[in-house]
C-alpha cells in the first residue's frame, strides 16, 4: 500500500472516531430530555432513585431549611422544609422521596404539603406531585394544587436540570387547570445575600418561574450550590419574598 493510501485510511479512521465521539455526546445529551409544556412523558421506574444528589439542590434525608416569607401586605410566615426518610411510590411507578413543607403564621398552620421528588440516571431532579392542605382556624379548607403524576392526566416535570445552562427552559409540573408551573435558567454566575449568609458569584443559580394559570405572576428563584433554594422574589403579580434563615444538612 502506498503512502498516500495509508494517509487516507488514517484520516478516514480519525474522522470516524470523531464522528462516533460526537454521536455519543449527542446521544448522551438527549438521553434524558427535559419535558416541556403539556408533553406526555413515559418514565421508566428503573431509571430513578430517591437518592437526590443534585449539586444545586441536594436532598439528603434529615436536611432542613427554614425560611421567612413576607407577602405584599407585609404578613410574615415561617416555612420549614424537611427531607423525610419516607418514600412514596407514585402512580406512574416511580419511587419518590417525600419532602415535608410546613408554613405557619403566628404559630398556626397555614399550609402543609408533602412534595415528591426523584432523580433520573442523568441527574435531573423530577417533581412527581404534591399533597397539599390549606388551613384556616385549624381546619383544612382546601387541597387545591394537589396532583400525582399518572393520575387524572397529571404529568411529572423537572425541578432542577442535571446540567443547567442559561436559556434552558422546562416544565416543572403539569396538571391541566391546577398545576402548570414553567421555569427557565437565567444564569449560573449570580450572587445573593439572605439572613443565612452571602453567596458569591459563580455559586448561585437563578431561575425565572411562571404559570399560564396566573399570567401576571413572575418569580425569580436563587439556588446556592451545595445547599438548595435560598431566595424567591416575586417581581410581578405581587411582591412576595421568601429568604433562607437557617439550614441543617442531613446526615
Report pLDDT digits (tens) over 51-79: 999 999 999 999 999 999 999 999 999 99
Supply the pLDDT for residue 30. Answer: 52
Report pLDDT digits (tens) over 158-197: 999 999 999 999 999 999 999 999 999 999 999 999 999 9
In whole angstroms, give the CA distance from residue 210 to residue 131. Answer: 21
Q: Which of 220, 244, 214, 223 is nearest to 234 (CA)?
A: 220
Q: Percent of the chain, pLDDT > 70?
A: 88
Look at strands 155-160 and 139-142 and give their pairing: unpaired
Copy the grid coordinates of residue 186.
437565567
Supply the pLDDT for residue 31. Answer: 74
Q: What is the pTM of this model?
A: 0.86
Mean residue pLDDT across the chain = 90
Query: Cα Rg for the chain, rounded, in angstroms?
Result: 21
Report the CATH fold assignment for 31-248. YmcC-like fold (2.40.360)
Report pLDDT digits (tens) over 115-135: 999 999 999 999 999 999 999
Supply the pLDDT for residue 32. Answer: 83
Residue 105 above 90 pLDDT? yes
Those residues whose C-beta lies under 8 Å from the C-beta of residue 182, and which sit 6 or more positions away, are 37, 169, 170, 171, 172, 209, 210, 211, 212
Report pLDDT digits (tens) over 15-49: 444 444 344 333 334 578 899 999 999 999 999 99
Copy the grid coordinates of residue 98.
417525600
Q: What is the domain partition of the chain in residue ranges? A: 1-30, 31-248
Supply the pLDDT for residue 1. Answer: 53
Residue 10 above 70 pLDDT? no
Amino acid at each position: 500500500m502506498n503512502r498516500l493510501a495509508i494517509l487516507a485510511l488514517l484520516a478516514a479512521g480519525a474522522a470516524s472516531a470523531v464522528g462516533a465521539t460526537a454521536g455519543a455526546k449527542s446521544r448522551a445529551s438527549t438521553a434524558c430530555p427535559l419535558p416541556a409544556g403539556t408533553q406526555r412523558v413515559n418514565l421508566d421506574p428503573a431509571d430513578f432513585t430517591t437518592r437526590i444528589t443534585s449539586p444545586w439542590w441536594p436532598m439528603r434525608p434529615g436536611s432542613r431549611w427554614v425560611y421567612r416569607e413576607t407577602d405584599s401586605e407585609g404578613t410574615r410566615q415561617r416555612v420549614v422544609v424537611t427531607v423525610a426518610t419516607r418514600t412514596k411510590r407514585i402512580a406512574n411507578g416511580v419511587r419518590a422521596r417525600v419532602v415535608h413543607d410546613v408554613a405557619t403564621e403566628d404559630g398556626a398552620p397555614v399550609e402543609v404539603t408533602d412534595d415528591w421528588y426523584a432523580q433520573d440516571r442523568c441527574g435531573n431532579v423530577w417533581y412527581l406531585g404534591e399533597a397539599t392542605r390549606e388551613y384556616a382556624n385549624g381546619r383544612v379548607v382546601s387541597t387545591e394544587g394537589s396532583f400525582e403524576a399518572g393520575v387524572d392526566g397529571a404529568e411529572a416535570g423537572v425541578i432542577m436540570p442535571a446540567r443547567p445552562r442559561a436559556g434552558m427552559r422546562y416544565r416543572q409540573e403539569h396538571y391541566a387547570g391546577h398545576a402548570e408551573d414553567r421555569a427557565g435558567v437565567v444564569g449560573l454566575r449570580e450572587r445573593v445575600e439572605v439572613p443565612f449568609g452571602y453567596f458569591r458569584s459563580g455559586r448561585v443559580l437563578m431561575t425565572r418561574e411562571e404559570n399560564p394559570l396566573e399570567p401576571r405572576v413572575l418569580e425569580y428563584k436563587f439556588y446556592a450550590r451545595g445547599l438548595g433554594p435560598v431566595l424567591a422574589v416575586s417581581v410581578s403579580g405581587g411582591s412576595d419574598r421568601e429568604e433562607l434563615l437557617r439550614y441543617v444538612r442531613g446526615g
